[in-house]
Amino acid sequence: MGKPTGFLEYEREDSKAVLPKQRIKNFNEFHTPLSKEKQQLQGARCMECGVPFCQAGMMLNGMCSGCPLNNLVPEWNDLIFHGNWKQAYERLHKTNNFPEFTGRVCPALCENACTCGLNGDPVSSKQNEYAIIENAYKEGYAKAVVPKVRTGKKVAVIGSGPSGLAAADQLNRRGHNVTVYERSDRIGGLLMYGIPNMKLEKHVIDRKVEIMKEEGIEFITNTDVGKDIKAAELLKKYDRVVLCCGASNPRDIKVPGREAKGIYFAVDFLKSTTKSLLDTGLKDGTYISAKNKNVIVIGGGDTGNDCVGTSIRHGAKSVLQLEMMPKAPDERAENNPWPEWPRVCKTDYGQEEAIAVFGRDPREYCTTVKKFISDKSGNLCKAVLVKLESKKDSKTGRMMMTEVEGSEYEVPCELVLIAAGFLGSQKYVTDAFGVELNERTNVKTALGKHATSVKNVYVAGDMHRGQSLVVWGIREGRDVAKEVDESLMGYTNLS
């Protein structure tokens, strides 16, 4: 520990965000990193405590505390404080295949478990991670490392999201010949089309994919396994197949008027914007537009927030975000102690932008849609909303959100975006391989394992564990690679 009193001497300093009314003029990332010297002082704030919860990745009260990748956070914080940036990169890359992704989009589970945050501001580990990887690219040592020996074993990875890319990267490092199949026109899966540009600019993905290609991984796009190519053909051609197709079934809502024109799933809305942006800079007009429309976003998570930010960039007339549950507390409650994940209210970038543009927080808590109203042409024009309250169900004894009688009210609305989460894997893929599913329609495996009910077929990511974070996708990809490698070689040296 290079600076035992660093956390006492230096205040936390974050990268500067472009003001909301300025950043909504484009779809670019909007944070200005600290200078190298200032970032090194942020590394000095790390206490290198005896029990580093930041890297634990353990489950507490049903929530993950610390990094699921078990990143060696205190080590690389200390290394950047001493100016050993290359060694910091080597320690970071040892556990995390894609710090350029997590340094941008991870909710920083490490910081929420930071000991320094118990009585003050946590160490800015996420921004330290971002600084390490971007410096590595700048200095030229985040480069391709081609395996010296090939095993002759062939593995197909289906899906190029976080878990698929991590599995491919690990298996290629081991010397196996890896081919990644992606049904979209670009590599990245959720990273490419599920996360908006202002959170993750797509050249960052392309930069890493080019390195992976140099290292020997083959990528095949515009190929939908189960439709364009048969599962039997892949099982015959490859020694192992790894399914990383995500939890791709969006959760719908069932209310009268759902068939009205102007109601979309959030994933379709976000994908259409990103694809049009990348193809033509939004000039082709092929995306679902929120311009001059009253928008309702149903769902309060990250995807809902992304819809708010994207709608504002389109030029929406108004944006309303509905959350069924009550507002979370602004500070930790007594029954949510550190180092548990903090169940507190978070105002994200999209909500900040709505406040700046419209003068109010877009979120309406304890509220849902009761009915959609369309005009004579079938186009959505209004929504009937209703307030909710928590009541105990007389049959089950469980607390349920129920409608407040007489609380209905109408709002104008021409565009609705459903951001209510995802439910399990897509049937045509699981049917193609004949894998067994669990009660949540995720692919079933033994506890803690990734082998499916079909010989030589493995599964990882959201398709295995359900909708989750990018960092969990990477964890899953690393774990399945280790299991596949052991099945091929009789042992594994992957971590």
Dist CA 430 CA 338 (whole Å): 40
pLDDT at res. 248: 87
Span 99-126, average pLDDT: 95
- Phi (first) and psi of residue 280, to 5 degrees: -140, 10
Span 33-48, average pLDDT: 94
Same CATH topology for 6-139 and 154-248+423-489: the answer is no
Q: What average pLDDT does the structure give for the chain?
A: 96
pLDDT at res. 134: 98
How is the chain split into domains, by residue range?
Answer: 6-139, 154-248+423-489, 263-418
Dist CA 27 CA 267 (whole Å): 17
How would residue 244 be classed by pLDDT, with cut points 50, 70 and 90?
Answer: very high
Decide if pLDDT at 9 tops 70. Answer: yes
- Please state which architecture CATH assigns to domain 6-139: Orthogonal Bundle (1.10)
pLDDT at res. 197: 98
Span 354-379, average pLDDT: 97
Question: Which among 388, 383, 384, 382 is positioned nearest to 367, based on CA atoms?
Answer: 388
Q: Which of 47-61, 78-92, 434-448 has the lowest average pLDDT?
A: 47-61
pLDDT at res. 2: 65
Question: Which among 215, 109, 225 is positioned nearest to 159, based on CA atoms?
Answer: 225
Decide if pLDDT at 1 tops 80. Answer: no
pLDDT for 169-186, tens place per residue? 999 999 999 999 999 999
Q: CATH code for 263-418?
A: 3.50.50.60
How would residue 467 be classed by pLDDT, with cut points 50, 70 and 90?
Answer: very high
Span 379-402, average pLDDT: 92
Euclidean distance between the first and the last CA atom of the chain, given in angstroms as a whole number: 26
Dist CA 422 CA 462 (whole Å): 10
Question: Which among 239, 247, 35 is positioned nearest to 127, based on CA atoms?
Answer: 35
pLDDT for 206-216, tens place per residue? 999 999 999 99
Decide if pLDDT at 371 tops 70. Answer: yes
* 158 contacts 443 by C-beta, under 8 angstroms: no
Amino acid at 26: N
Sign of CA dihedral 167, 169, 174, 175: positive
Return the DSSP state at 284.
S
* 260 contacts 378 by C-beta, under 8 angstroms: yes
pLDDT at res. 356: 98
> If DSSP codes are grouped into helix, strand and coil, which group holds residue 59?
strand
Decide if pLDDT at 54 tops 80. Answer: yes
User: Could you check whether the bond before residue 339 is cis, i.e. omega within 30 degrees of 0?
Assistant: yes
Decide if pLDDT at 349 tops 80. Answer: yes
How would residue 68 be classed by pLDDT, with cut points 50, 70 and 90?
Answer: very high
CATH of region 154-248+423-489, choose from 3.30.300.30, 3.40.50.300, 3.50.50.60, 3.30.379.10? 3.50.50.60
Decide if pLDDT at 408 tops 80. Answer: yes
